Structure 1
Amino acid sequence: MTSSPRDPAQRGEILRLAVPAFLALVAEPLFLLADSAIIGHLGTAQLAGLGVASATLITAANVFVFLAYGTTSIVARQIGAGSERGALEAGIDGTWLAVGLGTLTSVGVAVAAEPLCRVFGASPDAIGYAATYLRISALGIPAMLVALAATGVLRGLQDTRTPLVASVAGFSANIVLNLLFVYGFGWGIAGSAWGTVIAQTAMATGLVTVMVRHASRAGATLHAHPGRVLRAGLTGIPLLVRTLALRAIILLTTWVAAGLGDVPLASHQVATTIWTFLAFALDALAIAAQAITGRALGAGDVAAARSATTTMLRWGVWGGVGLGVVVLAVHSLLPLLFTTDPAVQAALSAALVVVALGQPLAGYVFVVDGVLIGAGDGLWMAKAMAATLVLYLPLALWVHAAGDGLLADGAPHAVAVLWVVFTAFMAIRAAFFWWRIRGDAWAVTGAAR
């Protein structure tokens, strides 16, 4: 039996998955929002350093986001096909893969912290703070990746409430620890890094504990199987390529901002953090899309997958409109929370106007992204994102080349132009997604794609 886009039961299921996912997702970027607000009052150089370090750290962790997204799709398909044990064993393989990848990445980032930060071309003061933050934060990368994998398993099991509890607890601990270490102990930017590492480790521990309980009840083995772990890694390669291209775009934009100076970089850091917060809020529907699409296709019900997609796309666009209106209303007030530097406040305010106007487009993009990930359409997504990077590159390089001319009209003008160009990237991505979703090639049924 298929569902109509207006079917109350279907809308209820979307809300059941999306509302806890929304609350959990908006808690995650609050880690960085809290860091930005606390560090921003230490000085502009510290805030600029956080911009460089956080861009590097997020890239190091998020290139492996397939540990969550790919696992959600695989687990949901197995659940749709009626195999809970198979779903959990696939998720456990992904978690072991996260342990290995996290350990290797942590060591690499910690050892190369300063050279990685210098790539952005920020000022010497900013680089010093960035390297300190990154070197310490690298210790939390294994926990970040394990949390991604465990969260993916639980979402595939149609459980978005447990990740919500973990995120809220982690966010609360992060604020308390950061305030204590930064201001109470006087550790400065290093204290913020330590607080975040501790909170991330606690979150990962809690999520894995719940996953293990599910596995025990289903009779799933907890041991690592090298062959299956390797297959899990190979399955995630297309999403890895897609994510690498996406992170390249974000890093390229940060590099352009760094070339404009500390004030544009500091304002861009906060604007990016706010944009990420909004993206995670809209991504709640994408999480629901991953779980619902994977389960529906696993059960062979293409009509249900399309019906849910129609509903979620409508909600995503209107959600973007709502968030955009809110940001536009407070765009001149938000900067006061993050910095006392008038120049940074003015540049950030200008950037937030553009961020607000781009939210309806973001709502569309994130929902389709979730649908295609849930469908396991990773190979096409990798190709599309690589093409998007190629198309975005000349736009970003134009801003970099025009830096002095843009700054002649003031930092607010330069940062606003940079965000207009970044919004063009989202428009390119939306065009690719529109073309793909209107066809049927993405909707492959069965327990495995």
Structure 2
Amino acid sequence: MRRIAVLAVSALLVLVAPPLYLLLDLAVVGQLGGRELAALGVGTLVLATISTQLTFLSYGTTARSARRFGAGDRAGAVREGVQATWVAFGVGVVLVALAYPLAPAVMGALVGSGEEGSAEVVDEATTWLRVAVFGVPLILASMAGNGWMRGVQDTRRPVVFVLCGLSIGAIGVVGLVHGVGRFPDLGLIGSAVANVVGQSITGTLFVIRLVREVRDPRMSAGVSWWVSLRPDAAIIRSQLLMARDLILRSLSFQVCFVSATAVAARFGIASVAAHQVTVQVWDFVSLLLDSVAIAAQSLVGAALGAGAVGVAVTVARRTVVVALAIAALVGAVFVLGAGVIPGLFSSDDQVREAMTVPWWFLVGMLPIAAVVFALDGVLLGAGDAAFLRTATLFSALCGFLPLIWLSLLLDWGLAGIWSGLVALMVLRLVAVTWRFVGGRWQRVGVGAVI
């Protein structure tokens, strides 16, 4: 339990830091005016979408590195990190090359042209993205670094690296956007520059740690520990196979939540506002549960790499218990605060009233989500990404999407939308529980999935 808690807290701090930085960024830029705030919102949406689709660099690398580490092959675990970092730089360069010329078209599509001032928002967002996108290669390198360091169960350094970079970025935002002190007054562009600087510092720290790990003379004493920094086509190919499954899984989630928002918008402003606020609360809960899942990935991968199936099963069961305890605590807070918490997000009576429907669906979904997140982490740690891809796609196509569109056709409102989200979670629960109980994920040794 202690090891799960240590890994979970480390993962949670890394997961929470970027959203907190974004809140500061929004608050600082918001002082410039609505146009700049809208431009920043659209720009960060694009960057967040890219990051969401490329989480395989952290989750996939954690699973592969942890299995090597558990087998006593620390060199192999670090080698996974080297190759994941090459993938990060390669993909990052491609994204920069695509995003820079396509930025006006992308922003135009997102903002539209019907509202007054939309052209100015498109211009501002385009300029912001064209600066901020240069930080993408090192953002992705940070993901890869988080992945292999979680795999070798290094819990302290990732937190330090992320907090160091984002702290400097936060100082840059405050200084550059408004020209505080000796900082130049760059306005919205200052936000983009600070973003690049902060993310680049974090990514550089991860890369430096990787190089030092490879060159550490203590690691090479008496053992065959040489790790080349050159690209390895075979390892990269294996990583990309797992990436394919994780990207498809992530895309299915994106389709579900975008569809939910689109349908909620058809029921009026109060409904879509209530839906979005509840989704933001759900995102916060997801961070808590995801931190436990990340701990499970590392520990289960290491146990299976060492051939210790019993340890992996024990970790899995304890992870479920921890996740359920978190869900119970959060659920109790949400039940007791049902009459107060929604009012913290909106002073509009119609929005608060509309939130009562999704709020209770969210509360009821918490224990289901706890088990799903925990077992997701277990199966990801076991390298069972292909199964998770298939299970998620099936749950979305057969559970969520039919209910979401029926709720539109039959005017079920937010109750229909959140029934679809619950159906998605229930089907995922059935799938991962069946897989866990069946034991097919218990493939030991490095060669089982790598």
Corresponding residue for residue 4 of structure 1 = none
Structure 1 position 240, deviation (Å): 2.4
> Residues 50 and 397 of structure 1: is their aligned pair in 2 closer, same or farther, counting only changes over 3 Å?
farther
Contact 1:372 1:378 in 2 (8 A): yes
Structure 1 position 137, deviation (Å): 3.5
Contact 1:75 1:87 in 2 (8 A): yes
Whole-Å Cα distance in 2 between the matches of residues 145 and 261 of structure 1?
38
Number of aligned residue pairs: 426
Larger CA Rg, structure 1 vs 2: 2
The one-letter code of the counterpart of 2:4 is I
The one-letter code of the counterpart of 1:442 is W
Structure 1 position 63, deviation (Å): 1.6
Structure 1 position 444, deviation (Å): 0.9
Corresponding residue for residue 82 of structure 1 = 72
Corresponding residue for residue 230 of structure 2 = 223
Corresponding residue for residue 197 of structure 1 = 196
Contact 1:384 1:432 in 2 (8 A): yes
Structure 1 position 97, deviation (Å): 0.6
Whole-Å Cα distance in 1 between the matches of residues 107 and 425 of structure 2?
26
In structure 1, list runs of 5 or more residues that go unmatched: 1-10, 407-413
Deviations 1:258-297 (A, max 9, x none): 6667776666656544433331222111111001110111
Is 1:93 paired with 2:100? Answer: no
Whole-Å Cα distance in 1 between the matches of residues 242 and 350 of structure 2?
43
Deviations 1:53-103 (A, max 9, x none): 444332222222111111111111111111111111121011101110112
Aligned 1:36-185 pairs, distance under 5 A: 36-38=26-28, 52-117=42-107, 124=115, 128=122, 131=126, 133-184=128-179
> Residues 211 and 104 of structure 1: is their aligned pair in 2 closer, same or farther, counting only changes over 3 Å?
same
Is 1:293 paired with 2:303? Answer: no
Structure 1 position 388, deviation (Å): 2.1
Deviations 1:294-319 (A, max 9, x none): 01111111111111111110110220
> Residues 423 and 201 of structure 1: is their aligned pair in 2 closer, same or farther, counting only changes over 3 Å?
farther
Whole-Å Cα distance in 1 between the matches of residues 332 and 161 of structure 2?
30
Whole-Å Cα distance in 2 between the matches of residues 343 and 32 of structure 1?
28
Corresponding residue for residue 446 of structure 2 = 447
In structure 2, list runs of 5 or more residues that go unmatched: 220-225
Whole-Å Cα distance in 2 between the matches of residues 119 and 374 of structure 1?
38
Larger relative contact order, structure 1 or 2 (CA cutoff 8 Å, min sep 6): 1
Task: State, as a whole percentage, how many aligned pairs show the same letter.
Answer: 32
Corresponding residue for residue 7 of structure 1 = none
Whole-Å Cα distance in 2 between the matches of residues 171 and 348 of structure 1?
36
Aligned 1:42-441 pairs, distance under 5 A: 52-117=42-107, 124=115, 128=122, 131=126, 133-184=128-179, 190-217=189-216, 218=219, 219-256=226-263, 271-327=278-334, 329=337, 331-335=341-345, 342=348, 346=352, 355-391=362-398, 392-398=400-406, 418-419=417-418, 421-441=420-440
Contact 1:286 1:366 in 2 (8 A): yes
Whole-Å Cα distance in 2 between the matches of residues 71 and 296 of structure 1?
16
> Residues 188 and 324 of structure 1: is their aligned pair in 2 closer, same or farther, counting only changes over 3 Å?
farther
Structure 1 position 256, deviation (Å): 4.1
Whole-Å Cα distance in 1 between the matches of residues 34 and 355 of structure 2?
16
TM-score (norm 1): 0.82
Structure 1 position 224, deviation (Å): 2.1
SS in structure 1 opposite 2:438? coil
Contact 1:385 1:429 in 2 (8 A): yes
* RMSD of aligned Cα (Å): 3.4
Whole-Å Cα distance in 1 between the matches of residues 442 and 266 of structure 2?
43
Corresponding residue for residue 222 of structure 2 = none
TM-score (norm 2): 0.81
Contact 1:121 1:259 in 2 (8 A): no
> Residues 205 and 357 of structure 1: is their aligned pair in 2 closer, same or farther, counting only changes over 3 Å?
farther
Whole-Å Cα distance in 2 between the matches of residues 265 and 395 of structure 1?
17
